[in-house]
Chains A and B, each alone.
Chain A
């Protein structure tokens, strides 16, 4: 009789206890091999060897390509042993010869397929292009690493295949493994160990120990040096393994029981359905977890189906598994046979109708063996024990149903969800039914098909995790995320400052790629701009007022053949719905370029349209910070006001009714590609709007200076913008037709936009956003009224910067303290506002005094407030500023 030893640390050894056991041929009940019986000491030795091998890096440290080469050698050694493996598997497990012959072939294929996938397609390293955290710029990437020491516990129904399923992925992904085959079928796993050794897989990487699960299970599932357990077996044992593993938080994948429903629809090809139902149940004597052991048959074809299925089942030949004419071999053990017989008795007692089978089979020329006839129960009620509990033998329950919905409900009325089938002549219908069943695999017009790249696993109490496919490979890795901070500097780290009194962010990145074309008569550059962007179909977005002023026609004429339409319904305070409406028009016209002609509302809407057009869905899907990874639909902005700066900024401000406040899209990729500053477009801007939009620009510039994100480049932009506004606003107010002054105001607004898009704004904007949302105060007017008050609020934290603002405003600060010079800056801004006729009090723009407290609570939650030069955390302080402005 053949002798098999345990395989531990690269050597075949006797059990520490010296114990052995016999493995029987279930077809004859005769022993075919003597096997060393592992005990606790052997399990510990195997785990120790696997741990040492893993930690040494001799296997885990190899590249996936190097491991693939070794796994290919392993597959070659399996090929050398193929005949021996087939014969041994057949005799040891009772698989018919034809079936056992497939196992080495499929196993070699699995090793090669998954090794190649791991070496060429698996995302071992994955860059994360956008992190989703706007406050911590960094390179982010993922490393996937082997888990460590894996335990594979496999059942007796497909010993060799299950060994491949556990050994293969574990090794391929860089792990080491201790494999415990079932005690009744240990031989093929031990032959695979020989193949692994012959292939030169390093010592300790593969270990195979055969022994009783009751004794070995405790060690294997609780040892602290084991990192992962992959178990295929009963739900009761799987539950216990999961519990044991939880003490040391091991990773666990479980493939457990099933009571799968094979649904025969009324339009099924009858012969195919009968074959499928029989194969789904009686293949390998029904000893398969995902067998279709509940066959659900439409009442319309029930009688015809039952007649054919009975005849087909009775034609199956039950015989010795090595007899090539046998369709079914023996059950694996006498215990298995006894359990099947027990359930058949239960079925009879429950009132199910035994159509055929229900008895042992004597095989001619064989004395003994655990043979059982294919058995069909009809008129089964799904609540019966034989319909709910897995029998694991050649016993099928046939259940009648009336509608597809009823079939799905019956299929789902089970604690299991492992497999299932649908037989139908209508693929669409079959897929609908398949979609309704809560189970891990559904076969349509087939059954029991497995494939290396297709994941397998259960829903509900059929298991946890997946085997095979990329999903299966992932189960053998861990994910490590690595963050490489863009700034290795404490004073550039916004989050470190939560524990610091230093509130400025020193480091910065300046990225403002908009191509600005400015000057008298620069509008005709638009056609070249469109051509340079590679576009052909430009849609103009604008508002009714701008269109009525004739400005849109100028643009349409300048675009000539590029213009495919004009959408003029952008409201003054755009919301998500107005973006969606404009996007719908753009989609209909197949626009590949957006030209915005208007103020901040129009340009911000256009930015959101470009994102939604490019990425699909609705505006609400894209309210994100720094997530775009590619260029958006091209955008050319032509501002008709001199305030927003939106023509060069990275933000789109939109009102969300759902959120009850303004929300933003923030991303460098929404900065318009081109901004055309032609003063003709602001010449007809009414005085009141000229003044309030100018104060919007002024607020951008001043807040960029005092922001915690301020930096020298943005300070330069901001200060020049302040000088230009201070000088040119009075000129424009005096003479709206002063084109040079108008152009300078546009340039100032653009420069202020560049300044704040990098340096951010602050409390004045947070407060202005709030009264804009709650009381519809125009943004520029709100900013202007609040700016001087906020400057005074910030004075002790931004005195140096405000002093520069004062100087830019023309204040002679010689001899002044910084504090006084800073206050003078606020005074100068107020003086400019009064001179220009800008409202200076909130009451003058319709804000009710009694609402100021609620405004303060909302304002403090505005994102802009985070960047204010003076930390803001007390709503009472904000209320005080509102009151000063009231």
Chain B
């Protein structure tokens, strides 16, 4: 394992396929960044964004997908688990981490940002 590798990104059942499906539908062949972001007023969360890998990024390949993370984000959050939720009125990716970035982790779902 290189020093630029994220030790682990755990993909729960169906999450990898959902992400691949999204990228294929959009005709995108780029990595997915696990990023820290705000969606307004208090409480950051982790989300997925299509992005390019930069020199300082950590990365890992899981289920054929390349996941990248800024080392500072990894230092803050630790290992990340990605689930895909598909139920009535609620569809999207749920990211939780070894060290939760906010008390609302595991509550909301989000789409992949392009």
B105 and chain A: residue at smallest CB distance: A214
Report B83-94 CB contacts with A as 1/0, cut-off 8 Å.
000000110000
Contacts of A214 in B (CB 8 A): 100, 103-107
Contacts of B40 in A (CB 8 A): 234-236, 238, 256-258, 289, 390, 416, 461-462
Report A365-392 CB contacts with B as 1/0, cut-off 8 Å.
0000000000000000000000001111
The docked-state distance in angstroms from the alpha carbon of A258 to that of B38 is 11
Most central of A232, A238, A335 by chain B CB within 10 Å? A335
Most central of B40, B44, B100 by chain A CB within 10 Å? B40
A240 CB-CB contact with B under 8 Å: yes
A155 CB-CB contact with B under 8 Å: yes
Selecting from A74-82, A336-344, A783-791, A827-835, the interface stretch reads A336-344
Interface members, chain A 410-467 (any B CB < 8 Å): 416, 461-462
Contacts of B70 in A (CB 8 A): 342, 345
Interface members, chain B 64-79 (any A CB < 8 Å): 70, 72-73, 76
A157 CB-CB contact with B under 8 Å: yes
With beta carbons under 8 angstroms apart, the residue of B38, B76, B90 that contacts A392 is B38
A393 and chain B: residue at smallest CB distance: B38
Q: Are A243 and B103 in contact (CB under 8 A)?
A: no
The docked-state distance in angstroms from the alpha carbon of A349 to that of B90 is 33
Interface members, chain B 8-40 (any A CB < 8 Å): 35-40
A311 to chain B, nearest CB (A): 29
Q: Are A339 and B37 in contact (CB under 8 A)?
A: yes
Most central of A243, A255, A342 by chain B CB within 10 Å? A342
Most central of B36, B37, B43, B89 by chain A CB within 10 Å? B43
Q: Are A338 and B42 in contact (CB under 8 A)?
A: no
A524 CB-CB contact with B under 8 Å: no
Report A333-359 CB contacts with B as 1/0, cut-off 8 Å.
011101101110100010000000000
Q: Are B41 and A336 in contact (CB under 8 A)?
A: no
The docked-state distance in angstroms from the alpha carbon of A287 to that of B37 is 14
Contacts of A236 in B (CB 8 A): 39-40, 45, 108, 110
Q: Are B41 and A338 in contact (CB under 8 A)?
A: no
B33 to chain A, nearest CB (A): 11
Contacts of B89 in A (CB 8 A): 243, 246
B101 CB-CB contact with A under 8 Å: yes
Contacts of B90 in A (CB 8 A): 240, 243
A183 CB-CB contact with B under 8 Å: yes
How many residue pairs link A and B with beta carbons under 8 A? The number is 118
* Chain B contact residue count (CB 8 A cutoff): 29
B32 to chain A, nearest CB (A): 16
With beta carbons under 8 angstroms apart, the residue of A213, A257, A342 that contacts B103 is A213
B63 to chain A, nearest CB (A): 25
B44 to chain A, nearest CB (A): 4
With beta carbons under 8 angstroms apart, the residue of B35, B42, B100 that contacts A234 is B42
With beta carbons under 8 angstroms apart, the residue of A213, A240, A339 that contacts B44 is A339
Interface members, chain A 236-260 (any B CB < 8 Å): 236-240, 243, 246, 255-258
Q: Are A342 and B35 in contact (CB under 8 A)?
A: yes
Q: Are A235 and B39 in contact (CB under 8 A)?
A: yes
The docked-state distance in angstroms from the alpha carbon of A390 to that of B38 is 6
A773 CB-CB contact with B under 8 Å: no
The docked-state distance in angstroms from the alpha carbon of A239 to that of B39 is 10
A404 to chain B, nearest CB (A): 27
B109 CB-CB contact with A under 8 Å: yes
Q: Are B103 and A183 in contact (CB under 8 A)?
A: yes
The docked-state distance in angstroms from the alpha carbon of A461 to that of B110 is 15
A337 and chain B: residue at smallest CB distance: B76
A647 to chain B, nearest CB (A): 63
The docked-state distance in angstroms from the alpha carbon of A234 to that of B40 is 4
Report A202-223 CB contacts with B as 1/0, cut-off 8 Å.
0000000000111001100000
Q: Are B73 and A233 in contact (CB under 8 A)?
A: no
The docked-state distance in angstroms from the alpha carbon of A217 to that of B44 is 16
A733 CB-CB contact with B under 8 Å: no
Contacts of B102 in A (CB 8 A): 213, 335
B110 and chain A: residue at smallest CB distance: A236
* Chain A contact residue count (CB 8 A cutoff): 45
Q: Are B41 and A392 in contact (CB under 8 A)?
A: yes
Contacts of A155 in B (CB 8 A): 41-43
Q: Are A257 and B41 in contact (CB under 8 A)?
A: yes
Contacts of B38 in A (CB 8 A): 234, 257, 339, 343, 389-392
The docked-state distance in angstroms from the alpha carbon of A212 to that of B106 is 10
Q: Are B108 and A257 in contact (CB under 8 A)?
A: no
The docked-state distance in angstroms from the alpha carbon of A335 to that of B45 is 9
A268 CB-CB contact with B under 8 Å: no
Q: Are B104 and A234 in contact (CB under 8 A)?
A: yes
Known contacts A213-B107, A217-B104, A246-B89; A156/B42 CB under 8 A: yes
Q: Are A335 and B107 in contact (CB under 8 A)?
A: no
Contacts of B72 in A (CB 8 A): 338, 341-342
Contacts of A416 in B (CB 8 A): 40
A795 CB-CB contact with B under 8 Å: no
A635 to chain B, nearest CB (A): 59
Contacts of B35 in A (CB 8 A): 342
The docked-state distance in angstroms from the alpha carbon of A520 to that of B90 is 83
The docked-state distance in angstroms from the alpha carbon of A336 to that of B37 is 10
Q: Are B108 and A335 in contact (CB under 8 A)?
A: no
The docked-state distance in angstroms from the alpha carbon of A341 to that of B110 is 22
The docked-state distance in angstroms from the alpha carbon of A246 to that of B108 is 15
Known contacts A155-B42, A182-B42, A234-B45; A212/B103 CB under 8 A: yes
The docked-state distance in angstroms from the alpha carbon of A376 to that of B41 is 20
The docked-state distance in angstroms from the alpha carbon of A155 to that of B104 is 11
A184 CB-CB contact with B under 8 Å: yes
Q: Are A339 and B36 in contact (CB under 8 A)?
A: yes
The docked-state distance in angstroms from the alpha carbon of A815 to that of B72 is 109
A262 to chain B, nearest CB (A): 17
Contacts of A341 in B (CB 8 A): 72
Q: Are A338 and B73 in contact (CB under 8 A)?
A: yes
Q: Are A257 and B39 in contact (CB under 8 A)?
A: yes
Interface members, chain A 250-293 (any B CB < 8 Å): 255-258, 287, 289
Q: Are B36 and A234 in contact (CB under 8 A)?
A: no
The docked-state distance in angstroms from the alpha carbon of A183 to that of B101 is 12
Q: Are A392 and B42 in contact (CB under 8 A)?
A: yes
The docked-state distance in angstroms from the alpha carbon of A238 to that of B41 is 10
Q: Are A342 and B73 in contact (CB under 8 A)?
A: yes
Q: Are B43 and A234 in contact (CB under 8 A)?
A: yes
Q: Are A338 and B108 in contact (CB under 8 A)?
A: no
Most central of B38, B39, B42 by chain A CB within 10 Å? B42
The docked-state distance in angstroms from the alpha carbon of A237 to that of B43 is 9
The docked-state distance in angstroms from the alpha carbon of A418 to that of B64 is 41
Contacts of A232 in B (CB 8 A): 41-42
B36 to chain A, nearest CB (A): 5
Q: Are B101 and A335 in contact (CB under 8 A)?
A: yes
A391 to chain B, nearest CB (A): 6
The docked-state distance in angstroms from the alpha carbon of A389 to that of B106 is 21
Q: Are A389 and B37 in contact (CB under 8 A)?
A: yes
A291 and chain B: residue at smallest CB distance: B41
**Closest 5 A-B residue pairs measured CB to CB?**
A257-B40, A236-B39, A155-B42, A235-B40, A289-B41
Interface residues of A (CB under 8 A from B): 155-157, 182-184, 212-214, 217-218, 232-240, 243, 246, 255-258, 287, 289, 334-336, 338-339, 341-343, 345, 349, 389-392, 416, 461-462
What are 29 of the A-B contact pairs (CB < 8 Å)? A155-B41, A156-B42, A213-B104, A214-B100, A214-B107, A232-B41, A232-B42, A233-B42, A233-B104, A234-B41, A235-B39, A235-B40, A236-B108, A237-B39, A237-B43, A237-B104, A237-B107, A238-B40, A239-B108, A240-B108, A256-B40, A289-B40, A338-B72, A338-B76, A342-B35, A342-B36, A349-B54, A389-B37, A392-B42
New contact pairs (13) apart from A217-B107, A232-B41, A233-B43, CB-CB < 8 Å = A184-B103, A214-B104, A214-B105, A234-B40, A237-B108, A257-B39, A258-B40, A287-B42, A289-B41, A342-B35, A389-B37, A389-B38, A390-B39
Interface residues of B (CB under 8 A from A): 35-45, 54, 70, 72-73, 76, 89-90, 100-110
